[in-house]
Amino acid sequence: MTGSSNVARLLLPALRWSSETGFAHCRDEVERGLRLGVGGFILFGGEAGAVRALTEELHRRAPHPLLIASDLERGAGQQFRGATPLPPAAAIGWLDEPETAERAGELTAREARALGVNWIYAPVADVDLEPENPIIGTRAFGTDPERVAEQVAAWVRGCARGGALSCAKHFPGHGRTVGDSHIERPCVYVSRGELEEDLRPFRAATDAGVDSMMTAHVCYTALDPDGNPATLSTRILDGVLRRELGFGGLVVTDAIIMDGLVEDMTEAQAAVRAVAAGCDLLLYPDDAE
């Protein structure tokens, strides 16, 4: 395998369904990704039959096994027409029945695998600690760190039973921000002791055998006084995630096109720094080439 192919395997480009053209307008991105030898793709939307046809083609034509991912926090029906939509995590968490969260994870995984998707970007392990947070809200299982941790661990176990890879997000916690990392780089200024509440669900996910973690494009001054966002912070990814939590699975960035990451650097610079900091995979490059 060439060096460029090795580098390409770090990348997970996006393929978005269009109600007018289906996945046809993604053909150039598909061909480019397969030619480069990317590690996989993230899918947004689509009718079940078209999704299955696309993933079968991708798996068949790729020179190596692919990670086909999707944001399925509310079940496979969140993205794919014909699959089962589930309530948001807050509704499941309100029931305070971990077995229900476990069943949700299993159902999501089984339906995802039936469509050729093998990596689910869920569960959300953030705790909804900030009422003014514009991005988490009902995506979290709740406001109590202990109960959220129980729900997250249960969802991870269910996902494993359903046969798909799980991904706890957004490490080390996006629940305290008052900014949206899609459009800015939020910072969290609470103490290291207070951040233990945010970390509890990620510890529980690790103990439950979660396959991967997604990083937050958020800075935490108590964890990295230099102000690096978690995605670019060796202190956070190596020091906290790897060494303190003992997590040994994959670390994937949140989308690298987000302004929370690239507000003061190019996508290429951010990608290099993310890998250097400890990220294994780079999600949603704007330009895979």
Indicate which residues carry an active-site annotation. 182, 254
Nearest to 58 by CA among 69, 47, 73, 45: 69
| C-alpha to C-alpha distance for 118 and 87, rounded to whole angstroms | 21
Nearest to 174 by CA among 145, 149, 146, 198: 198
Q: Return phi, psi of residue 225, to 5°.
A: -60, -15
Contacts of 274 (CB under 8 A, 6+ apart): 215, 231, 232, 253, 256, 261, 282
Exposed/middle/buried for residue 89 (C-beta within 10 Å: 0-12, 13-18, 19+) = buried
Return the structure tokens found at 34: 């397969």
Q: Which residue is listed with tokens 């029906």? A: 77
